[in-house]
Chain A
């Protein structure tokens, strides 16, 4: 995939400042298409795109790896453990059931459901791992 694209880039032969823009735009376009097709996992696609930027020197190696030492990303990883630990205590569902009570109407049911859920999810980390498009 990446090799293919580097050939494209060579053929265009624009001035340096411009070819980078066009090349990265192309890479992004291809990335969106590939993600859209959902043939490969997003992690594989993202690594391929990273490589496609690393190889022609658009980004340096430290720039490419900077993300993997980001404190934000690592906080996400630690919160995976925290969320799983809270989940493993197991009583969450039972107490939520108690909180839900016995509503008489849809409106009150929705209120009873959404308000506590909103409050809890503010502090219990959630991470979406869904693919944005149908498989």
Chain B
């Protein structure tokens, strides 16, 4: 392979779509807004504020701040350069000379934003209020769920991106278990509560064999403890381990009566009481039917004849299971009514029972599907000895299969109820307002069932209410499980709602394919593409009447996926579903400033695009600082999950989940260290050479089957493993202990040369991809860097050197002390900007030489004088011209172009060219009218979900205000008058806004006032769980 580091180094492995990274190219030109935009987004969610009210102010405050000093924005420096060239002997413009005008100018701008933003901003974002609370969704563990009887850890319930297990309601006891550890065993009938991406919940439940709890299934929940009680009454149930609550057999009448009528395998008794031979013969009989052999006229075959009869009607499903000793196969025969996707569901269920399919025969006779499945036990995951097939195993297989086929609660029934989980808001004139789900025929109107309700105004003490008896209010957000034919899934008509709110057909298609692909992934061992394609057919919905659709859309507005704050503004696909999530451990440094606070107080549960999954603590309690390093090095310590409310200590391990690039951001939090920090420290790589790299373990490489420690990963590859991800699932295990498998995606911290240099790469990894902008932060260098900058500014202000020289010295020192690497410094230079501005200088010379500049200047002076304002008129004219040009041209070039005109106008009217240059600086940065006029506007445009007109309507008056105030500020004498006036105006406006809000908060009805201290509105769900943020799961 070639030795040049490249973004993708492929060794024949297909480029996994998994490795696509969703990030805006890092714009270093406006670092404040780039860094602050996601922070403000998260902050707004946390403080329950409208983000639209904050992002444009963020952008504009940056622009206004840029005109406070000479170095605030490059436009100032461009004008300064021209001024110094044109008037080498003129009065110099120093760093803070602009502040005289810039500060009052900025205060006027801020006053305008403060005063007017409630009227211009956020009106179209009203509906988003309150949507970002953790929503709890309930799901019941079905008998065929792969999670049943397994620990949370092994079931994979905690490893799936976007959905997080919060709590478990134990069916047997009715107890609520929060912060369940990985060893917690999930039983059939348990109700699990999740939070996270609502929209992928349907898929999630289908994959894990969970039944979404809705207002229609609440009854089932209440039955569960009863079943459990009966079950434990039988006396043979291990409290934790028996995954089955065999409730089906309770409905079967007296077995003795059934003896002659019920064929083998319809009830558990009929199966278990039949002799081995009977069961084998039943299987042989089914095989014969499939193969189309004529029935043997055997006298003993009475039971089998009954099986034929069953093939003619809507009889209960028949499942026969037996273990054949000859070839050590488990053989299951199934006879039930046929439907689409049946065989696929059965094969999935068998796989979950750890049965590996050897061969399968199936046939449809008279609408009955008859199939024979010959399987062997797959290796057991816990590496216990291969068990002999016991009676209880037969029972288990039978029970799972029969439950799967049951017409009332089986897979098909749940599929018919629909798997799409959507979010919809009750509209103003909805028929639902002030009524409950039972009063309005919810299912027949919307073909959807309610999973959860998020009330718009939280009435205290209603959180225990039953879902069916909640009175809906305008603005309530309903989480619905919609059937495929639900009118809510069809895009509304043009007049009903905005297209963004609808689920487009293509989105549905992709949903369907994603379901299919996940199925493909799980059942690759039998990989039957026919079955899969029939599944797709099943996904296409039916067509309803237009009136029905319209009525449904008038009642409920389906919300787009607001939970995933995608800073890219790309609504094309769900970013979380598309790129892999890693689970990574960070530990609390003994020097951390936040020791003694809870994770919530520090804000760890609200980090941008990261989820705090759990907190673990070394079991030997708190550590003295001297023990810390040693303890961290010891591998054998035991981590214990602690509740999220616990105060943090040094050495606590916090597990975060997120995409690679966001995981990288974790390192920017002072006091958090990567769990593998010691490994990383030992790497012989400079800090700014290090990157995060995603690497896929090659199928036949030396890594397969070994742990990171076994292969001495760091020594061998010069990289430390931060996190491991397997088949799209996060691995909740310290990376050092994970036994690697082919296809695992490793998140590595590696030197930049790792991609190129390492000879082992060829065989060890199938695919390498660097995570963008993942160089580790240099927290320790923050103070030296700040000292350098402040010193450079001080040297310049003291008049010792020019700004250019002092900054050049500072930048070279920064490279020397390692704040920034040579390469990063090179990349920081934006040569396109250089060429644009440099050329603009030459063009402005052309304007002077050709007489265009004097001509335009003469016109401006004429108009300015006509106003009778003297200097003010000319300044206003120059300001206006600059803003016009600045709205077409990038503002640096605009400044360079307008400069000769401004100077000419100054000389013609007798105004000071220095004052005119400063006016030009103020004007050239004023770009508020369009999202494209300034980088900062563009950066907040997508994340704030603004519309073009937001900038136009809010920005145009801003321009007028600043135009008038800047002109006044530049001409007022003495200068401090404008400061006094601007400060007074600003304080008045701020007081009015804050005072107004305080008044309103007394009445408590104003939506603008959303007290934070109060607990977020508790979700009304059908349970007694008091959610406490992100529990440990």
- Chain A interface residues toward B at CB < 8 A: 17, 20-21, 23-25, 28, 32, 35-36, 41-43, 46-47, 49-50, 53-54, 58-59, 63-68, 70-94, 96-97, 100, 102-111, 113-115, 117-135
Contacts and interface: CB of A to CB of B under 8 A. Distances in A.
B19 interface: no
A111 B839 CA distance: 40
Given A79-B807, A126-B32, A130-B890, 19 more contacts: A20-B851, A50-B839, A65-B842, A72-B77, A72-B78, A77-B830, A88-B819, A88-B820, A91-B777, A100-B40, A106-B997, A107-B993, A111-B114, A118-B64, A118-B68, A126-B30, A130-B934, A132-B887, A132-B890
Contact of B849 (A59, A70, A115, A125): A59
A91 B39 CA distance: 12
B302 interface: no
Contacts of B910: none
B73 A127 contact: yes
Contacts of A127: 29-30, 73-74, 830, 833, 892, 935
Contacts of A35: 888-889
B406 interface: no
B863 interface: no
The A interface, classified by DSSP as helix, strand, loop or mixed, is helix
The B interface, classified by DSSP as helix, strand, loop or mixed, is helix
Nearest to B844: A67
Contact of A64 (B845, B887, B934): B845
B807 A129 contact: no
Q: Closest 5 interchain pairs by CB?
A: A72-B81, A90-B777, A67-B841, A121-B65, A107-B993
Nearest to B671: A94
B937 interface: yes
B497 interface: no
Given A42-B893, A85-B820, A89-B779, A106 B825 contact: no
Nearest to A72: B81
A93 B803 contact: no
Which of A91, A93, A105, A106 has the largest number of chain B CB atoms within 10 A?
A106
A85 B934 contact: no
Contacts of B997: 104-108
Nearest to A19: B850
Contacts, number: 395
B1012 interface: yes
B668 A90 contact: yes
B980 interface: no
Contacts of B841: 66-68, 70, 73
5 contacts: A21-B851, A46-B835, A86-B786, A128-B936, A130-B937
A71 B29 contact: no
Contact of B846 (A53, A102, A124): A53
Contacts of A124: 31-32, 72
A103 to B, nearest CB: 6
A19 to B, nearest CB: 9
A70 B834 contact: no
B775 A88 contact: yes
B968 interface: no
A120 B938 CA distance: 20
A43 B836 contact: yes
Interface string B768-782: 000000011111011
**B interface bracket (residues with beta carbon within 8 Å of A):** 35 or more
Given A85-B785, A124-B31, A129 B830 contact: yes
A97 B807 CA distance: 28
A115 B110 CA distance: 9
A19 B852 CA distance: 11
A82 B831 CA distance: 16
A93 B814 contact: no
Nearest to A66: B841
B74 A46 contact: no
Contacts of A91: 668, 670, 777, 779, 782
A23 B113 CA distance: 43
A106 B782 contact: no
B764 interface: no
Which of B778, B814, B846 has the largest number of chain A CB atoms within 10 A?
B846
Given A63-B842, A72-B84, A109-B49, A128 B850 contact: no
Interface in B143-169: none
Contacts of A78: 804, 807-808, 811
A1 B386 CA distance: 80
Given A88-B688, A107-B997, A130 B668 contact: no
A85 B811 contact: yes
A94 B930 contact: no
Given A59-B849, A88-B688, A49 B839 contact: yes
A26 B529 CA distance: 65
B84 A71 contact: yes
Contacts of B840: 46, 67
A90 B778 contact: yes
A64 B845 CA distance: 8
B1001 interface: yes
Interface of B: 27-36, 39-40, 43-44, 46-47, 49-50, 53-54, 57-58, 60-66, 68-69, 71-75, 77-82, 84-85, 99, 102, 106, 110, 113-114, 117-118, 603, 667-670, 688, 775-779, 781-782, 785-786, 789, 792-793, 802-804, 807-808, 810-811, 814, 819-820, 824-825, 828-830, 832-843, 845-847, 849-852, 855, 886-893, 896, 927, 930-938, 948, 990, 993-994, 996-998, 1001, 1008-1013
B47 A53 contact: no
B243 to A, nearest CB: 45
Contact of A122 (B44, B66, B775, B782): B66
A104 B50 CA distance: 12
A89 B888 contact: no
B993 A79 contact: no
A103 B825 CA distance: 38
Nearest to A121: B65
B31 A87 contact: yes
Given A103-B49, A128-B936, A92 B35 contact: yes
Contacts of A28: 847, 852
Contacts of A79: 71, 74, 77, 807
Which of A94, A100, A120, A121 has the largest number of chain B CB atoms within 10 A?
A121
Nearest to B82: A72
A89 B782 contact: yes
Contact of B72 (A84, A125, A131): A125
B852 A73 contact: no
Contacts of B824: 84-85, 88
B1012 A102 contact: yes
Nearest to B929: A132
Contact of A102 (B47, B72, B933): B47
Contacts of B44: 109
Nearest to B828: A84
Contacts of A24: 846-847, 850-852
Contacts of B891: 128
Given A72-B84, A132-B887, A114 B61 contact: yes
Contacts of B776: 90
Given A53-B843, A96-B39, A107-B990, A46 B893 contact: yes
B80 A107 contact: no
Contacts of A46: 835-836, 839-840, 843, 893
B932 A97 contact: no
A113 B57 contact: yes
B835 A80 contact: no
Contacts of B842: 50, 53-54, 59, 63-67
B43 A81 contact: no
Nearest to A73: B837
A70 B899 CA distance: 14
B31 A126 contact: yes
A68 B78 CA distance: 11
Nearest to A25: B852
Contacts of A93: 35-36, 39, 668
Contacts of B46: 102
